[in-house]
Amino acid sequence: MSRLLLIMSLLSFLGCGHPTPSPSPQTNGRHGQLMKLEYGGTHGYHAYSNIDFKAERMKDGRTRITVMVGNDRDRVFEEASSVMDSLEAIVYAYKMYKYDGSYTPRYDVLDGDSWHLSMDFADGEYQSCHGYEATPPGKGGEGLGKIEGFFSRWLNQEPAEGVALVSFRYELHTEEGDEVLWFKKDEDRCPVYFRMMGSNEGWNYYCGDPDLAIQLARAIRWCHMASYTGEKLEKEDKSLPRWVLIAEYENGQKIEAMDYLDRDLKDDDWHHGVPSLSERELRYEAERLFGKELSRIQQLQPEELGRHSCTTYDAQGKPSRTINYAGDGTVLGGRDYNDPDLDF
């Protein structure tokens, strides 16, 4: 009898004869479906650099993605339910439901990068954390990188109802020369005008790509030029090195911005000596887009090129002659700005 009692005690101690309960979502750290996630960050050294993303599981099962960049308008996308499922897979793969509190570096860092992350789950649980120049231990940095990579596909996209430009004009005037990039939608034509730095010729084509209107609107948004505070255009001093931006949207909104390349030439208290970061970014992006468009046009056949013109300028940047061509290269006429009697 004593031997039987001993065996039963051992079985009870080892848990034999009783089914082991499977871990519940709570004991396993899981909370079911991911219903909403918000992620964003800022760069301390970069003006208007704050970028925030939000993903939500809607009632119909689809996914709503919201992109918020600086002070610009929110852009909203509706995607398939699988998009939210993919984000949920990242959260559980890196155990982000365990991220908690604040993460900071061992030593103080000035003008560093920060991030924040929050998640809502189907069981009502809410998780929130943030960091400054530091990430959760282990694979925390890799996990946050996966989240950032997940959202990056929408950063450069426009929703279907995105507002495009009907006109765009960027001018750069320096002691070395001038640059003018101009685009305008005109019914079924899209004239594109190029005058690159160091050249005394400008080309005006009538077969521009309409998509350029959306790409340029995106460039303005990326560079936060809609909220740029510089000099008023009506106060432009044309004797000084400067840049000018004039743009109009399909909804009637207009942007007029300008500033001087060397603020020391102006009698005020703001001296930065170089173009603003926002303006430089816009210039590089505009030059890239117009250069890409010029390469596309130069590859067209004469019959595809359409009507275009070429203007030559003098040393002061004033037009001296314009010649108009048909798509096959035939001269249609021209104008001599120095002697109107020579117009043909």
- pLDDT of 309 higher than 80: no
Write down the pLDDT at residue 162.
57
Average pLDDT over residues 291-302: 78
Write down the pLDDT at residue 71.
63
Give the residue, 99 or 316, on which the prediction is more confident.
99
Yes or no: is domain 34-155 CATH 3.30.1560? yes
For 185-243, what is each residue's pLDDT tens digit?
A: 776 667 777 777 766 666 666 667 778 888 888 788 767 676 666 677 888 888 888 88
Residue ranges covered by each domain of the chain: 34-155, 165-299
Residue spans of alpha helices (H) in 200-317: 211-222, 277-298, 302-305
| 89 torsion bin: left (phi>0), alpha (psi -120 to 50), beta (else) | alpha
- Average pLDDT of the chain? 76
pTM for the full predicted model: 0.51
The band of 277, judged by pLDDT with boundaries at 50, 70 and 90, is low
Cα–Cα separations (whole angstroms), residue 140 to 96, 136, 219: 8, 4, 32
For 22-67, what is each residue's pLDDT tens digit?
A: 333 343 456 789 999 999 987 654 444 578 999 999 988 889 999 8
- pLDDT of 2 higher than 60: no
Bridge partners of residue 308, in order along the sequence: 205, 325
CA dihedral of 295, 301, 304, 305, whole degrees rounded to 10 = 50
- pLDDT of 15 higher than 60: no
Give the residue, 16 or 281, on which the prediction is more confident.
281
